[in-house]
Amino acid sequence: MIVKMSKYTFVLYHKRQKEFLEALQQLGLVDITTTAWEADDEERAMMSELDQLRAAKAYLKELASEEGFRAGEPYTDGREAFERYREAAAAIDDLGGRLEKSRREAEELAVWGEFSPDDIRRLGESGVTLRFFSAYKSELQSIMSAYGNDMIIEPVAEKDGRAYFIVVQTGEGVDVPFDAQEYKMPDMTAADKAAEIGRLEKQLASWREVMARVYASTDKLEEYAVGLKDRFDFTRATHCGVREAENTLVIMEGWATEDTSGKVDALLEEWPDVVYIKERPTPQDDTPVVLKNNKFANPFEVIGQFYALPKYGTIDLTAFFGPFYMIFFGFCLGDAGYGLLLVLASFFLRRKKTTAMKQIANLTLLCGAAAVVFGFLAGSFFGVQLAGLEMFSDMKAKFLDTDMLFTLSLALGGVQIVFGLVLNVINTTRQYGFKYSLGTLGWLLVLLGGVLLLLPPMMGLAALPAALCYTIMGIGGILMLFLNNPNRNPLINFGSGLWDTYNNVTGLLGDILSYIRLFALCLSGGTLALVFNDLAFGLTEGLPIVVRQIVILVILVFGHSINLFMSALGAFVHPMRLTFVEFYKNAGFESTQREFTPLRKNGR
C-alpha cells in the first residue's frame, strides 16, 4: 500500500535555513521539495563524483571476478581511495588503448623481420630508397615477372594470403609502375615495439595494484559515497524554496509519513521562530511516494520498480498483481525440477544480509514454488513426462494436456483483465467519485453478462436465465454509452461511447490473446527439456557404460542449464510485460517518478 503522507510548509528567517535543515537531516524523516532546483558548479561536481562512485562500484566488482585477482592493502579513508581510483582508472584506460595500438603495430612490424631504421635512413641520405609494399601472392608474381629485371624487388614474408616485399630505388619521388599497397617506412623494429609493450605492461600492472588497494577499501569508498550523497542532498535543499520579504524569509515545502509526523512536530516545537503549516496532500500536489506491503507482497515491489511508482492517492497494485505474476512465472517455466532449483537458489540468496537481496530471495522462493506446482500439474520434471511413469499411472488423467494449458492461459488472462477493471472502478471512485467510474463499470457489466450467458453451458452446467444476463448487459451498455463522462450531455456521450466500445472490444481481444505467450513459453521450455533428455540417452547408445554415463551427465547438465536460463529469463520478462501493459492499462494505473527521499545523515 501507499503510505499516507503529511505536507509541511515552513517559513523561516533566511540565515536560519542551513541550521534548520541540519536539524531536519539529523532527524532523517522529512523530504524537502526540490522541484525548482538548478544545480550550480559545486553541485554539478558532486553529481559527477556520485556517478563516478557508482561506476567504481561496478568496475571493482568486475575486477574482483577476474582470475588470479588479489586485494591489496586498503587505504586509510574513502576520499583517498576515490582519488586513487580516479587516477588509476584514467591511467588504465589510457594504457589499455596504447597497448592495443602497440600490439597491433607489433604484428604489422613482425612481417618485415629484423632491420635497423638508422641504416635505412643513412641509405636514403646516400640516394638509395627502400619502399615497403604488400600485395596478394599472385599479384606479386605478376609484378616480379613484369618488372623484376628493371628494379630490385625483394620478397620479405607471407601472411594471410598476402606477400610483403621491398622495392629498392635510387633517387626520390620515383613512381612505381604497378598497383600495390604501400606502407610508411617503419621507425622501429618488432623487437623495439615488443620492448615498448613490455614497459606499458609494467605500468599497467602497477596501476592495477593501485586498483587492488582501492578494492580492499570498498567499505570506506561506500561510506564516502553515502556522506557525499548526504552533502549533495543538503546543499540542494539549501538552494530550494521561495524567497520573500526582500529575500529575508524562506518558504520551503516538506513531506513526512503520517506515522512519523509526530516526531517532526516535536522537533518543530523546538524552533519557535519557524512558522509551519501541516496539512493533508491534495490531488494537485506532487506528493512523494513510499510503499509498505506485507511479507507476501513486499518481494513483488522489485517487479513494480522496473516500471514506476504508483501516484499518491491511487491504489498500490503490488499486492494485486503479485499473485498473478507468481502464477504466470510458474506457468511459463512449466517444469517442477527447474522450480525446485529456484527454491534451493532462494535459500542461497538469503545468506546475503542486504534488504534488497532478501527481497530477491523471497521473490525467487515464491516464483520457484509456483513453478514446482505448475510443473507438476503439467507433468514435467526436468523434462521427464510424469504421465509416462508407472508410479504416476493413477494420476495420468489429472495432468494438464496442451489443450487444457492453452485454455487455462486465456482464462487466467481474462480473470486478470476483469480484476483490473474492478480495481479501476474502485480507484476512480476513491479519487473522483462514483459517477466518474460509471463508464468503466458499464463495460465491466457487459463482460459479466456475457460471461454468465456463455460460460455455464461451456462448462456443462445449467444455463442461467437469459433475461437476467441480457438485463445485466443492457444496464452496462447504458452506463457505457450514455454515462461515460458525467460532465457532458448524454447524447454527446453516446458518440464517444460508441468509439470507446470499438476500442474496448478490439483492445480486449488483443489483451486476452497476449496471454497465449504463457502457453507458448510453457510448451517450448518443456519440449526443449525433453529434447535434451532424448539427446543424452539416444546419442550415447552403444558407448561403454562408464563413458556413456559421463557423456549423458555432460549433455544433461549443459542442456538443462541453457534451457533453465532461457526459460527463467522468459518467465521473468513476459509476465512482467503482461503486468505493465495489459493489467496496468485495465486497472487505470497512474505513475509518479517522485520517491520519498528524506534528508538523512550518514544514509540512515
Q: Can you tell me which residue has the cell 500439474? A: 377
Per-residue pLDDT reduced to its tens digit, 47-80: 888 898 888 888 888 888 887 788 888 888 888 8
| Confidence label for 157 from pLDDT (cuts 50, 70 and 90) | confident
Residue-level pLDDT at 380: 84
DSSP string, 325-388: HHHHHHHHH--HHHHHHHHHHHHHHTTS-SHHHHHHHHHHHHHHHHHHHHHHHHTEETTEEGGG
- Would you say residue 604 has pLDDT above 70? no
Choice between 8 and 436, residue whose per-residue pLDDT is larger: 8
Q: How far is CA 180 from the centre of its chain?
A: 51
pLDDT of 264-289, one tens digit each?
999 998 888 888 899 998 888 889 99
Q: Degrees (nearest 5) of the Cα angle 421, 425, 427?
A: 110
Q: State the amino acid at position 102 in one-letter form.
A: S
Which range is least confidently modeled, 205-209, 266-270, 299-303, 355-359? 355-359
Give the pLDDT score at 603.
52
Shortest CA distance to 96 belongs to which of 211, 204, 207? 204
Taking each helix axis as running N to C, give the angle between helix 438-458 and helix 402-432, from 0 to 180 degrees, rounded to the nearest 10.
160
What integer is the mean pLDDT of 196-211?
A: 90
Pairing of strands 162-170, 128-136: antiparallel
Question: What sign for the dihedral angle of Cα 398, 399, 401, 407?
Answer: positive
The predicted pLDDT at position 367 comes to: 92
Q: Is the pLDDT of residue 329 over 90?
A: yes
Mean pLDDT of 557-562: 88
What is the SS3 assignment for 366-384? HHHHHHHHHHHHHCEECCE
117 contact partners, CB below 8 Å, separation of at least 6: 185, 186, 187, 188, 189
Binned at pLDDT 50, 70 and 90, residue 446 comes out as confident
Grade residue 537 by pLDDT with cuts at 50, 70 and 90. Answer: confident
The pLDDT of residue 369 is 92
The interaxial angle of helices 516-538 and 355-378, nearest 10 deg, is 80
Supply the pLDDT for residue 123. Answer: 83
Q: How far apart are CA 395 and CA 257, in angstroms?
A: 54
Q: What is the mean pLDDT of the chain?
A: 84
What's the pLDDT score for residue 523? 84
Give this prediction's pTM: 0.74
Residues 319/310, Cβ–Cβ less than 8 Å: no
Average pLDDT over residues 395-414: 81
